[in-house]
């Protein structure tokens, strides 16, 4: 953001290979794993502000959400979610082969569906006893600790959910939907299914 309040926008490359059409300034793209750094930053800012602790359990803030088939939210900490050491099975579907990617690239899943898919499986290992890259852990890390008795909340981002596959690459033209905010204000409600 510029000192006068205007957003600084920079683009590079072309919008579609072979077209020569420049990338528009209002274009957004799915960030995939890159979004996890943003989620971790917001969580760590909330830890710094005393809103939550890295050693808080998932059950403390999201009671009963991670339960069943050996999954136990009372044994998984926020730290383990961020460090990919929660043991939660990652069950984001459709990306095992290039063919599956092309079939499922536009599928979408709510955070609740992603967590439900993961907890249908036994944990890959006991929380803290191993390491495995986990989209599901970051879906849980995005849930706001203050939503324990209400709908889950997620950090605002200028684009789609960084963990969920299939979101479109563009935002509608016009004003940016998520103006800059403080860490507390970066959280917004997600409706429960």
CA–CA dist 66, 89 (Å, integer): 11
pLDDT at 125: 97
Q: What is the pLDDT of residues 78-91, one digit of tens each?
A: 999 999 999 999 88
Q: Among candidates 190, 156, 161, 191, which has minimal Cα distance to 176?
A: 156
- Number of domains making up the chain: 1
Query: 178 in a domain, yes or no?
Result: no
Beta bridge mates, 14: 22
Q: What is the pLDDT of residues 39-67, one digit of tens each?
A: 899 899 888 988 889 999 999 989 999 99
Query: 78 in a domain, yes or no?
Result: yes
Domain of 78, CATH number, reads 3.40.710.10
Query: 112 in a domain, yes or no?
Result: yes
Query: 164 in a domain, yes or no?
Result: yes
What mean pLDDT value characterizes the chain? 74
Query: 1 in a domain, yes or no?
Result: no
Query: 23 in a domain, yes or no?
Result: no
Query: 175 in a domain, yes or no?
Result: no
Query: 7 in a domain, yes or no?
Result: no
Residue range(s) defining the domain that contains residue 104: 32-168
């Amino acid at each position: 953001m510029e000192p006068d309040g205007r957003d600084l926008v920079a683009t590079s490359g072309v919008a579609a290979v072979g077209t020569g059409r420049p990338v528009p300034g209002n274009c957004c793209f799915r960030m995939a794993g890159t979004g996890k750094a943003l989620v971790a930053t917001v969580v760590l800012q909330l830890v710094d502000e005393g809103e939550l602790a890295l050693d808080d359990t998932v059950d403390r803030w999201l009671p009963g959400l991670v339960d069943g088939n050996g999954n136990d939210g009372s044994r998984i900490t926020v730290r383990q979610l961020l460090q990919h050491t929660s043991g939660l099975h990652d069950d984001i579907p459709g990306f095992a082969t290039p063919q599956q990617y092309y079939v499922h690239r536009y599928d979408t899943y709510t955070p609740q569906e992603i967590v439900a898919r993961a907890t249908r499986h036994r944990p890959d290992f006991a929380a803290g006893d191993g390491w495995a890259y986990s989209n599901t852990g970051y879906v849980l890390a995005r849930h706001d600790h203050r939503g324990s008795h209400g709908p889950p909340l997620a950090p605002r981002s200028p684009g789609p959910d960084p963990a969920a596959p299939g979101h479109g690459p563009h935002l509608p033209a016009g004003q940016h939907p998520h103006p800059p905010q403080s860490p507390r204000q970066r959280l917004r409600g997600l409706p429960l299914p």
